[in-house]
Structures are given as C-alpha cells and as structure tokens.
Structure 1
C-alpha cells in the first residue's frame, strides 16, 4: 500500500457524499484535515479486526470488502463497498475504539483516509451530521435484525433465490456472483456442498444456467415465488 497527499478534487468528492451535503465550510475543513490517499492492490488488507479505529474510508475507485472469519476459518463477507461509498464511519464511535471487521481490497483501488478526530469534532459543532449518522446506524441495525430473522425463518433455497434476485444483471442478461461459492455458502448459512447441490438441481430443472460465478436466471417466477415467503413488507 502507498500513501500520498490528497489531490485537489478529493475534497469535493467527499463533501458531495449525501452524509456531508450542506456542511458549513469551517466544518468541511475540519472533516478533511490530514486526509490522505491510499493506493491498494488486490487482496491487500486496509485494516484488521481489532485494530485501533483511527480512520474511516471513502472509496475513490475499486472495491473494498469487509469480512470476518468463522471459528472454522471460513470467510464471511458482510458487505462490498464501491466507488463513492463510505465505510467504517460508524466504527469511529464505538466505545472500544477498534474495528469490528477486516477490510480488504477487491482488485486494485484508491481510497481516501479520513480521521476519526475530525468526524467527532464536526458532530459536536454541527449536530445535523450527528443526526444523519444516527439515522444511518439505525437503518444498519434494522437491516441486521431482518437478516437474523431471515436466517432463522427461511430455507436455504429461499435465501439463495433472494440473493440471486438482488444481483444486478449485465447487458447480456447474466449475473456475476461477487463472492466465491464457498464465501456465498457461508453468507447463506449453508454448507458448500449444499449450495453446490442446489445450484446443480436448479440447472437440471432449467431454473438457472451457468457455472462458477457467471449465471443467468431462466425462471424468474420460480425464484420470485421462493423468495417472496422470506421477505418483509418493510
């Protein structure tokens, strides 16, 4: 990884994020104090679970995944952050002062490193930012609660159907899995063998087609019917 001084266009990009829109100029200067650019290569770790949480990140290019390792040593990827997104900003407020997950580059990329101290100072000076962060954190907690219920009340097939339907389609109608099949199995709470068997069964019944990380949905009504039972109204 290589650190460098932020370029002139970086402040506008960060302050254009919805979280910071309308920020008073003096608060913007405080927020961006000691900001730096970090150039990362594929697979490099930006921070580890348990490291001191002194910076949060803005993705300028590329992708960053946040993950934990299970007791069996398997990777559980919680989220993939893309260009224009912030990550680890809520970790700046944790009482233990440490990152709760590991962050790792997916492909080469560039991120901006913003300081915890500046974010806390701006929240004190401009309470509107604190309220926005509180709403953001509340939404994240709500999503996690729904995910817990989703895991406990849905079948493996329902979870896989919902996951596939949420993936964006490419121009040719295909969808690309952002996770390896082993990572996807951990994400869905099933054994890798179970996931492989489900995919093979759906291929044989012409519900989907493809292999590895490249797939195409052939029977949307089938997947929608499966997924609908596990969805909440809000």
Structure 2
C-alpha cells in the first residue's frame, strides 16, 4: 500500500471509534505507530485480495468499497465503509496473513493506514480491546450466517425489496443506489437480467419510479410485504 504523510499526533477521530474509545494513554502510541495518511483517488485500489495483510484502515473522508471479482469478471461489492468507519481490522489476525478481499476508493477518499503489529501489541497490553474485537467478529459472523440463509430461502423479489427498503429507511422517498445495477445484481445474488425485469415491472406497477441509480420508493408497503416474509426476527 502506498505510504504518504505521517499520521503525527493521535487524530481524535480514531480514538472516538467504538473499537478504540477509552484506549489507555500507553496503548494509543502502539496503535498509531508508523501510521500514515493516504489520499486516494476515485477507483484507486488500497489493497488487493491475497496481498499481505499488514495494514487496516480508518476512513477519514469519502468511502471505501470492499469487493471480490467473480469468475465472470464482475465486481461483487460486499460492504461500503464511510467516514468514521474502520475496515480490515479482523484480517490482522488471520493465520494466513492475507487480505480476503480487495478494497477500493469510491470517489476521492482519505484514510489512515494503521499497522497490524501495533494492533496485535495493543491487544496484549489492553485486554478490553481483544473483547471488543471478538464482539465485532462475532456480530459479523452472525450477520453472514443470516445472509446465507436469506439467499437460500428468499426470492429475487424479496431480496431486492429488502435492499431498497434499507436504503430508503422503510419509507417512501428518493434513494440513490451506491452500486451499479450489475454490481447490485451480484450483491443480492440474482442475474442482471432478472434485476432489470423486476425494476421494470415495479415501475410499470407504480411501486417505484426512476432509472439507473436514481429511484423513488412510491409504495413502501408493497416492498415491505415482500421483504418481511423472509426476514428473521433478530
């Protein structure tokens, strides 16, 4: 990963993150040792799948998408991290020592590159940090298990309805897709042709309006009736 400006004094934003909040004064220098600020341009790759996992990232501004390339050459975006969020911290503890996915800037972004060695040292010095990391990892595993069940038990329409409702906050209103339609199709596990047909049908029926990445949810009750049938209660 490209090294740029030294991080300097402890940026207060980083120690406001739930993972580091309340870090003891003697632990903070461990976490920031050799940290550097990276100014990334739109589309710049921050790390690639299979690279040595030597750094994890805190997003100062802009956003970073985490993805994998599918066998047919498409990008499957798993998560988008916004300002104030942290990514790849759990990769610092993987036994194979490599990133399991690729990270790429969405628009111009500024990130703080933090070192694996410092995080591992901080865990030994501050046990509370280890517990927080375990909690974060456990929550992610739980979400992924639910997603596997969701993909196997739900229909394409239910998955798309759920996705649009999450963007709109379960209410009527305008939403902008953070993904291209091809990326969205891969994200919710449907063929691009199926996604296009569903969107076109719902426009015709008056449930949504729009095109490409800009849409308006006009009938949230219809989407809710689809999504709720396959949602878990917790």
TM-score bucket of the superposed structures, by smaller chain: over 0.9
Give the superposition deviation at 1:12: 1.3
Q: CA RMSD of the aligned region, Å?
A: 1.3
Correspondence 1:213-228 to 2 at 5 A: 213-228=213-228
SS at match of 1:229: helix
Deviations, residues 1-51 of structure 1 (Å, cap 9, x unaligned): 66112254x521111111111111000111111110001000000000000
Deviation of residue 99 (structure 1)? 0.3
3-state SS of paired residue (1:67) = strand
Question: Which whole-Å CA distance do the structure 2 matches of 1:224 and 1:188 have between them?
Answer: 17
Q: What is the correspondence of 1:150-189 to structure 2 with a 5 Å cutoff?
A: 150-168=150-168, 173-189=173-189
Within the alignment, does 1:47 sit opposite 2:47 as a pair? Answer: yes
Question: 1:66·1:101 contact (CA, 8 Å) conserved in 2?
Answer: yes
1:133-174 deviation per Cα after TM superposition (whole angstroms, max 9, x unaligned): 0010000000000000000000000000000000046xx931
Q: Is the 8 A contact 2:60 2:109 kept in 1?
A: yes
Give structure 2 stretches of 5+ with no counterpart. none
Q: Distance in 2 between matches of 1:93 and 1:124?
A: 13
The corresponding residue for 2:82 is 82
Cα distance change of structure 1 residues 2 and 128 upon mapping to structure 2, 3 Å threshold: closer
Q: Which residue of 2 aligns with 1:118?
A: 118
* Contact preservation (8 Å) 1:167, 1:175: yes
Q: Distance in 2 between matches of 1:59 and 1:22?
A: 19
Preserved CA contact (<8 Å) 1:122 1:129: yes
2:32 maps to 32
- Structure 1 residue ranges, 4+ long, deviating more than 3 angstroms after superposition: none
Native 8 Å contact 1:66 1:77 kept in 2: yes
Once residues 2 and 125 of structure 1 are traced to their aligned partners in structure 2, the CA distance between those partners, rounded to angstroms, is 27
- 8 Å CA contact retained: 1:76, 1:187: yes
- Contact conserved, 2:7 with 2:32, CA < 8 A, in 1? no
Can you give the 5+ residue segments of structure 1 that lack an aligned partner in the other structure? Answer: none
Count of paired positions: 231
Q: Which residue of 2 aligns with 1:6?
A: 7
Moved more, 160-169 or 74-83: 160-169
CA contact (8 A) 1:2 1:39 kept: no
- TM-score w.r.t. length of structure 1: 0.96
**SS, match of residue 58 in structure 1:** strand
Cα drift, residue 206 of structure 1: 0.1
Q: Which secondary structure state, in structure 2, belongs to the residue aligned with residue 20 of structure 1?
A: coil
